Amino acid sequence: VMRLLEVIRGRQTSDETVEIAKAWGKKLGKEVVMVNEAPAFVVNRILCSMINEAFFVLDEGLATAEDIDKAMQLGCNHPIGPLALGDLIGLDTQLRICEGMHRELGDKYRPSPLLRKMVR
Say if CB 111 and CB 102 are below 8 A apart: yes
Instruction: Output the pLDDT for position 16.
Output: 98
Does residue 104 share a domain with residue 58?
A: yes
Does residue 57 share a domain with residue 83?
A: yes
pLDDT, tens digit, 9 for 90 and up, residues 58-76: 999 999 999 999 999 999 9
Compute the distance between CA of residue 99 and CA of residue 96 in angstroms, rounded to an integer. 5
**Residue 73: domain span:** 42-119
pLDDT band, very low/low/confident/very high, at 53 (cuts 50, 70, 90): very high
Compute the distance between CA of residue 61 and CA of residue 115 in angstroms, rounded to an integer. 14
Does residue 31 share a domain with residue 58?
A: no
Does residue 114 share a domain with residue 98?
A: yes
Instruction: Output the pLDDT for position 1.
Output: 73
CB-based contacts of 104, cutoff 8 Å, min separation 6: 39, 40
The number of domains in the chain is: 2
